[in-house]
Amino acid sequence: MISRIPISDVSPTVYFGGEFLPVKAIAGESISIAATAVIEGHEKLSLQVVLHDAKGKVVTRADMHEIWPGTNRYEGAIVVPAQGDFFYVIEADSTSQYRTVYGSTEKFPIRGDRDRALIGAWYEFFPRSEGAVKNSDGTVTSGTFSTATKRLPAVAAMGFDVLYLPPIHPIGISHRKGPNNTLTAGANDPGVPWAIGNSDGGHDAINPELGTMKDFENFVAAAKKSGLEIALDLALQTSPDHPWVKSNPQWFNKRADGTIAYAENPPKKYQDIYPINFDDDYEGIRDEVLRIIRLWVSKGVRVFRVDNPHTKPVHFWQDLLAIIRLESPDVIFLAEAFTAPAMMHALGKAGFHQSYTYFTWRTSKWELMEYGREVAQQTSAFFRPNFWVNTPDINPFHLQAGNPAMFALRAVLAATLTPSWGMYAGYEIYEHRPFKEGGEEYLDSEKYEIKVRDWDGATKKGLTLAPFITQLNAIRASNPALQRLRNLVFHNTESDAIIAYSKREGDNLILVVVNLDPSFVQGTIVHWDMKALGITSDVFSVKDLLDAKKFEWSEHQYVQLDPTRPVGKVAHIVQVKL
């Protein structure tokens, strides 16, 4: 039923599965609300956006203003005051000739999550590689939670606040993969961590080579002491040796001959992994996964990276995540879903707090601008991006030359375009060799073998990006503008090799200019949109947060960036003095 004053095209809203679902926000975040309102004749309208708590109590009431005269498009803002569930309503009224008429919308839900749902610097390492030792006979002694604990201070010192661990569970023996994905494993090959389960247990057990449950608990405590949250991998699949294969055979797909079908993700084949079938015992699987999550939450884990969620039913995730949210609202779920955008978005609507993204393959100026606008404005109501520069599965083509400037500029983009970004261990020492030409797998991939790295040696030789990464994360931590998603604005440059953008939160205004060419000096004029920046003067003062140099910049500013010097300059990250 149309109200007395029709109000339409309300944004942001999330309509999915036949109902309005919560718009994503974090406590303290300002959300811009827009709507179109009309009334007959020439009467003037007044609009307000009214925020209510879950019980219906009014929290705030803010005026909305017409964006441009005659458009009937109004805009206002609400600030989500705390973690929890809220809803907003847009109210309109018009008073003339001694009469007042009213109109209002339905209730649109909005949810305040804790900060980590939006903001985070993620680092990934395999515990079995941290502290591993290569023996004189060529064999490798696995690292453990105890030896990996020694790596925690270095990760924290780089400014990371989330440490993601690939699966830490017992690894299957049957069809175990060898180095570089060979189908035959040797006696000392450790196997792929995602092939979960053997006689030592499944998703609720610790790989004995890494230690005991107590060792894991000590590891989590040590990480917390260093300022790191531990993110565990939730991979709903098994090895052929997992206890579920015998205890719950109905959870697996069968071939015509009665054997269980292994996993495939064309063109990749995973002979060491069985996928889960959710059709024959949905509630049984859901309840078992809930038990597993609750177990790890009881051990101090508050973040889960979910492996391939797009290969499981979306309604399963909506069901599961809703239950966990009611029990443990601080628990965060990151979707590792490199798949069709529609599915990635559906998972976000279903309840995932964050998702991996296509940033890893966006390299040109126009690709980055298009994708940046998409995640910052078009999909931000339901999809929070986490920009990863690499993963154990993805050695991007642009990194395979090993050019340090490329590693640096990609880190700048990931760390400043969005509030959450991530990198996999080895990035900081420029690991880049591909398994084969035309492919994105790493040579001697850590998925199949233990990797012994000489972190100290790389530091002594200066062959590390760690100091630069440390700078980036420090800049992010001290500038609220870089801790928001929806405030991204791109600015025009006269070169396809240089991208420029800004982010502002209150009085904190950050400008970023990046040379996308890692091999040559590039210069151009950046045309800053002064209205978008909120700057009224012709000249403004800036401080480069990477080298502490101060400049006077103007609306049409020439910049030059040289990545080829001994200490390359791939970007300006400047703070504007307001």
Known catalytic residues are 307, 336
Q: Which two tokens stand for residue 448?
A: 């199949």
Question: What angle, 0 to 180 degrees and rounded to 10, lies between the N-to-C axes of helices 404-417 and 365-373?
Answer: 20
DSSP letter for 249, please: G
Q: What whole-number distance in Å separates Cα of residue 68 and Cα of residue 261?
A: 60
DSSP letter for 292, please: H
Q: What whole-number distance in Å separates Cα of residue 521 and Cα of residue 497?
A: 10
Q: What whole-number distance in Å separates Cα of residue 481 and Cα of residue 471?
A: 16
Bridge partners (DSSP) listed for residue 502: 489, 511
Q: What whole-number distance in Å separates Cα of residue 150 and Cα of residue 17?
A: 47
> Could you tell me which of 456, 525, 363 has the C-alpha nearest to residue 150?
456
> Could you tell me which of 48, 50, 272 has the C-alpha nearest to residue 173?
272
106, HSE (Cβ side, Cα atoms, 13 Å): 11
Question: What angle, 0 to 180 degrees and rounded to 10, lies between the N-to-C axes of helices 314-327 and 341-350?
Answer: 30
Cβ contact 125:155 at 8 Å:
yes
CA 260 to chain centre: 34
The beta strands (E) that lie in 271-400 are given as: 274-275, 303-307, 332-336, 354-355, 387-388
Cβ contact 408:570 at 8 Å:
yes
**CA Rg, the chain, in Å?**
26
Let me know if 209 is exposed, middle or buried by CB neighbors in 10 A (0-12, 13-18, 19+).
middle
> Could you tell me which of 347, 349, 320, 319 has the C-alpha nearest to residue 335?
347
**What residues have CB less than 8 Å from 222, skipping those under 6 apart?**
149, 152
Please name the residue that has the structure tokens 């989590």. Answer: 220
Cβ contact 479:461 at 8 Å:
no
> Could you tell me which of 487, 308, 512, 502 has the C-alpha nearest to residue 380?
487
Helical ranges in 269-313 per DSSP H: 282-298
Where b means 16+ CB within 10 Å and e means fewer, 142-160 reads bbbbbbbbebbebbbebbb
Residue 568: φ, ψ to 5°:
-65, 150
Q: What whole-number distance in Å separates Cα of residue 572 and Cα of residue 436?
A: 35
Question: What angle, 0 to 180 degrees and rounded to 10, lies between the N-to-C axes of helices 466-478 and 404-417?
Answer: 20
Cβ contact 451:512 at 8 Å:
no
